[in-house]
Structure 1
Amino acid sequence: MRYSSQVKPISYLKSHGAKMLEKLARQREPVVITQNGKAKAVIQDVASYEETQDTLALLKILALGNQEIEAGQVKPVAEVVARLRATTR
């Protein structure tokens, strides 16, 4: 998807707000809002926003895990499993 096809001036948002929200929910494509010819904001439907936030959270967890691996902060799987089994008894 090309964002250039989803660019609207702020005046369009003001006069067609409800129509835009309906289209956002249906098509799930973000819209770039311009003011005085310059991009000022991006709006998107809530479901897409939540998916983006979930994806970012997972990527952050992976990045933190990679940092721990590089720092040598790892334990053998057998040791971790043994500790988990010991705490559930």
Structure 2
Amino acid sequence: MSEDILSLSQFKADASRLLDQVRDEPKTLVLTQNGRARAVVEDYEHYQARERAMLMLRLLAEGERDASRGDSIAQAEVFADLRRRLQAQRDDAARGQGG
């Protein structure tokens, strides 16, 4: 993904075209104000994909940290707990419909 640097004034003058360009090309616009980077404009779908990737990286890092500390639960125990919770929800729903 490429990166263009524009002043805020340049962006304001041609915002509609620039937003179309950001949508159509994988590009990030860095907006400057008084010669300093102040904001970033990027396509929303690219933003969402990057946020999902960052979330996955955070989860992986947390998992590695937990594993290195020995802070983990056996898979069978996790699934058994999930089954119990699901059954409890079903039971609650069945009681709610019958009453």
How far residue 15 of structure 1 moved from its aligned partner, in angstroms, is 0.8
Once the two structures are superposed, residues 14-73 of structure 1 have per-residue CA deviations (whole angstroms, 9 ceiling, x without a partner) of: 110100100000112111101111111111010010001100110111011011111102
Once the two structures are superposed, residues 69-89 of structure 1 have per-residue CA deviations (whole angstroms, 9 ceiling, x without a partner) of: 11102345xxx247637948x
Higher strand proportion: 2
Q: Map of 1:32-43 to 2, 5 A cutoff?
A: 32-43=30-41
Q: Which runs of 4+ in 1 moved over 4 A?
A: none
Structure 1 counterpart of 2:79: 84
Question: What do you get for the CA RMSD once the two structures are aligned?
Answer: 2.1
Q: Matches of 2:19 and 2:78 in 1, distance apart?
A: 51
Give 5+ residue unaligned stretches, structure 1.
none
Cα distance change on mapping 1:33 and 1:50 into 2, 3 Å: same
Structure 1 counterpart of 2:95: none
Q: Is the 8 A contact 2:32 2:39 kept in 1?
A: yes
Structure 2 counterpart SS, 1:30: strand
**Number of aligned pairs?**
84
* Identity among equivalent pairs (%): 23
Question: Whose radius of gyration is greater, 1 or 2?
Answer: 2
Tell me, yes or no, if structure 1 residue 51 matches structure 2 residue 46: no
Give 5+ residue unaligned stretches, structure 2.
85-99
